Structure 1
Amino acid sequence: MRAFLECHQYSANKFRMLRRQCDASSGNIVMRILSKRQLKELVLYSPQHIARLEKAGQFPKRVNLGPCRVGWVEDEVLDWLRQRLDRREAPSRHSS
């Protein structure tokens, strides 16, 4: 199992979707999972709208953690938000 967690064995492409970070001292992969409450603080959409976006492939997919618990990978959600910020700052095609 430890071998699976060592970052140097995997290329950046393999984990590009999760953007996992290595803890330099231990070699373990560090990943943070957001709860529904934490997600709502970052993304001001209703749970129903988030579910619609997920189904349409326009929002990061939830991770099933147990029978009654789900979460979202923080880096994926932050990347989604950064994409929206980048679009906001990019010049519009319709601007004069």
Structure 2
Amino acid sequence: MRIIRLKEVMETTGLARSTVYKYISEGIFPKPVSLGERCVGWVESEVQEWILARIEERDLAKESLLGP
């Protein structure tokens, strides 16, 4: 298991800091893990799963547009 910091989360997802925290508050992005008093990180596999879910959503939407 690997913990990644916000900079890497932003680089991996392409999201801005404010968007990451907005999505967390909306419950649609993995919550960070406290690493200390003023330090948080994310479980890398959870962030990767979130990205894969976005790809699946895209592919399912494309399939529904094309029809059977």
- Fold equivalence (TM over 0.5): yes
Identity between Structure 1 and Structure 2 (%): 34
1:75-90 superposed matches below 5 A: 75-90=45-60
Misfit runs of 4+, over 3 Å = none
Partner of 1:41: 11
Aligned Cα root-mean-square deviation (Å): 1.1
Shift of residue 60, structure 1, vs aligned partner: 0.2
Shift of residue 34, structure 1, vs aligned partner: 0.6
C-alpha distance in structure 1 between counterparts of 2:9 and 2:23, whole Å: 14
Q: Structure 1 stretches of 5 or more lacking a match? A: 1-30
Q: Structure 2 stretches of 5 or more lacking a match? A: none
Write the deviation string for residues 29-81 of structure 1: whole angstroms up to 9, x where unpaired.
xx100111111110111111111100110000011101121100011100000
Q: Which has the larger radius of gyration?
A: 1
Q: What residue identity is the alignment partner of 2:50?
A: W
C-alpha distance in structure 1 between counterparts of 2:34 and 2:19, whole Å: 18
Q: What residue identity is the alignment partner of 1:75?
A: S
- Which of 51, 71, 85 does residue 21 from structure 2 map onto? 51
Aligned residues: 64
